[in-house]
Structure 1
Amino acid sequence: MRLEFALLRVEMKALEKPLVTVILTTYNQEKYIEETLTSVFYQTYPYIQLIVVDNASTDSTLSLIERFKASAPAFQIIRNNTNYGLCKAFNQGLNIANGKYMIDLSGDDIMMADRIEKQVEAFEKLPEEFAVVFSNAIYIDQKGSRLHNHYAVDGNEKALAPVPSGDVYKNILEKYFICTPTMMMRTAALNQMGGYDESLLFEDFDFWIRSSVLFKYFYLDDILTKKRIHPSSLSTKVYQKGSGILASYYAVCNKAYDLNRDQQEFDLLAARIRTFIRKCLYAQEFELAIRFRRLLNYIENPGWQTELIVFMCRLHLPLNFAYRFYIKNLKKVLTQEGFSF
């Protein structure tokens, strides 16, 4: 009898599945929020804690969430009277999260039905030194029409080119390559890092820098998320004067400077800083360009090309309007020629 009971306990333990917390942050996403919520509840994986944080929406987003809650399984809603920004809103959810794993989901993105199941399966096979499982994604427009994949794929929807996995810190310093909403994160790692940095306007670059220097990442080669692209996306505002986005990048670059472990990492950071100096010129963030240049000088001689850009910043050349007009129209022409973004 004791042996049978012991075997039963072993079998029950084997059937236990980890809880996954989905923190869904919303702000004025009435057009998309119901589709996003539906994608959470139609997951093939049943062990989900959903926390919705409404960041003081001024449209009908919150009422749609509450109407959805009346007919759906229980989930928690945090109703903010003030828009605290993405990072603080996420941390509000993190403070009450119980899941072993975590997903940061925007109110206009969509998860494929088997996303959580596949990511949990991958995570459970990985050692604890892995803090993130990320995947491929489809970009969609405001109407939900398919634009392109994050990583180009073959006929079996597998990435054509190798995607960095494991120790990706150098890759993150070099360029943007992870589609943010595809990430599933280990909650213990997030808590160890203190969550997102609430002083920043965005979370991803800072999270990638601080986490990848401590933990490994795993690429799961499946298309598991639809990421929506629209004119109000934060990424479209980097060239807007006074947006604060480039200032957040400057803060993260300073963190990376302190975290770097070898000369190659400093070389990669220097190259990244040079791109931000150019963006400061186009965004007319002139004083910030000088601060970036000062940080670059701690790593290496800026060189004449960068010094020329900084000199142009000192002249306060009004390039912002012309550059944004150029980007907008170049993108329109390339789209007509068959290029996708």
Structure 2
Amino acid sequence: MPQPLVSIICLCYNHERCLRPALDSVLAQTYPNLEVIIVDDCSTDNSVGIIREYVQRHPQLKFISTGRNLGNTKAFNIGWRASHGRFILDFATDDVLLPERVAQQVQQFEKLPPDYGVVYSDAEYISDDSEHLYLHSQKYKAAPDGDVFAEVLGRYFICPPTMLIRREVFEELHGYDEGLAYEDFDFWIRSARKYKYAYLPEVTTKRRLHSRSLSSTWYTKGNQLLASTVVVCKRAAKMVRTEQERNALARRLKYEARQAYLTGNFTEAEQLLELLEQTTGTPFLYRFIRELNRHEINLGFLRTLNNWLRYRQ
């Protein structure tokens, strides 16, 4: 019986420095039945030159240029809609896949019933210079299986580039929401409402952390990432069914509201606190925060102080 086709959608935007090891790691996969589609989102560095070099040497690689910079969600949707695989891997070309990555996750999927839509795994975080930093499992201890909807509502625990996803999931969701500035949280909420997740306790991926990563600018004042989080939280509020899920959403709203307030994102903080009131009611501390927020009394120094105390040597 032939092994199922896996489509690796390689997303590139100004990844010149990391692109060769990323593409080499795709070509080094031990799994034989692969479709590799490289989507460049109108890079301004030499990424396209490197991609063309690889395509010339490896004709099995497919190359799509977006023509103009569209952002991750739109660029990825172009890639997966051009693919044919039973399973889809969303791969940013500043990361690195370990050689057994696809083979291990397909083997895991073959043991699972069809209501499992995602297999995710452990990962190694590396620096800009490819030096080891830490393992995902060291920072995020619990990795649940099965129905993870309440878990993804309440906390971050999935390393996004480790996911292998059934094609049916993307078809049902119509891909990523192109109106959002980032895709992970919304994808988890919408997919986990129907599909189960399975955890593979193996390091399959090296995820690169660098100064240009989205997480480094997440709560910058006026950043569209936080506005997208508000949209997803409002969407999630309409999907909760149980008290456990409602409480999980409240945990998320409290965290995001605190961060929004302490970074001067007063509009988003108000929206999150209003949603918290509608979800479980507002505890005293958050009523107090809401009053400070409405008067735009900036206590951002507390966040700075907390971070300094947390990370000082």
Flag whether TM exceeds 0.5 (same fold): yes
2:230 pairs with 1:250: yes
Shift of 1:283: 2.2
Q: Which residue does 1:7 correspond to in 2?
A: none
Question: Is 1:32 aligned to residue 12 of structure 2?
Answer: no
**Structure 2 match to 1:54:** 40
CA pair 212-54 structure 1, distance change in 2 beyond 3 A: same
**Residue aligning to 1:156:** none
Query: Which runs of 5 or more structure 2 residues have no equivalent in the other structure?
Result: none
For 1:119, which of 105, 108, 119 is the aligned residue? 105
- Equivalent residue, structure 2, for 1:204: 184
Per-residue displacement from partner, 1:208-246 (whole Å, max 9, x unpaired)?
A: 100011000010111100000011110111120111111
How far is 1:327 from its partner? 6.5
Equivalent pair of 2:55/2:63 in contact (CA under 8 Å): no
Contact 2:42 2:67 in 1 (8 A): yes
1:234 and 2:220 correspond: no
Q: Deviations over 1:13-34 (max 9, x none)?
A: x2x0100000111111110011
Q: CA RMSD in A?
A: 1.8
Structure 1 unmatched runs, 5+: 1-13, 154-158
Kindly indicate whether the alpha-carbon contact (under 8 Å) linking 2:142 and 2:157 is maintained by their aligned counterparts in 1: no
Question: How far apart are the structure 2 equivalents of 1:22 and 1:203?
Answer: 17
Alignment of 1:119-198 (within 5 A): 119-152=105-138, 162-198=142-178
Are residues 204 and 58 of structure 1, via their aligned partners in 2, closer, same or farther at CA, if it must alter by over 3 Å?
same
Q: Is the 8 A contact 2:97 2:204 kept in 1?
A: yes
The 2-side partners of 1:289 and 1:328 are apart by 20
247, 271, 278: which is aligned to 1:267? 247
Q: Which of 205, 209, 215 matches 2:195?
A: 215
Paired residue secondary structure (2:212) = coil
8 Å Cα contact 2:173/2:191 also seen in 1: yes
Q: CA deviation at 1:263?
A: 1.5
Match of 1:19 in 2: 5
Between Structure 1 and Structure 2, how many residues are aligned?
313
Partner of 2:257: 277
Q: 5 Å matches for 1:68-107? A: 68-107=54-93
Q: Cα distance 1:207–1:75, how it changes in 2: closer, same or farther (>3 A)?
A: same
Distance in 2, matches of 1:152 and 1:315, equals 40
Mapped contact 2:256–2:272 kept (Cα < 8 A): yes
Compute the TM-score of the two structures, normalised by the length of structure 1: 0.88
Amino acid at match of 1:91: N
Letter in 2 for 1:191: E
Q: State how far apart, in whole Å, the 2-side matches of 1:206 and 1:96 are.
A: 22
Quote the Cα distance in structure 1 between the aligned partners of 2:9 and 2:168.
15
The share of aligned pairs that are identical, in percent, is 36
Residue 286 (structure 1) aligned with residue 249 (structure 2): no
Tell me, in whole angstroms, the C-alpha distance in 2 between the residues paired with 1:195 and 1:17: 24
8 Å CA contact 2:154–2:250 kept in 1: the answer is no
Q: 96-105 vs 56-65, which deviates more?
A: 56-65
TM-score normalised by L of structure 2: 0.95
CA distance in 2 between counterparts of 1:270 and 1:125 reads 35
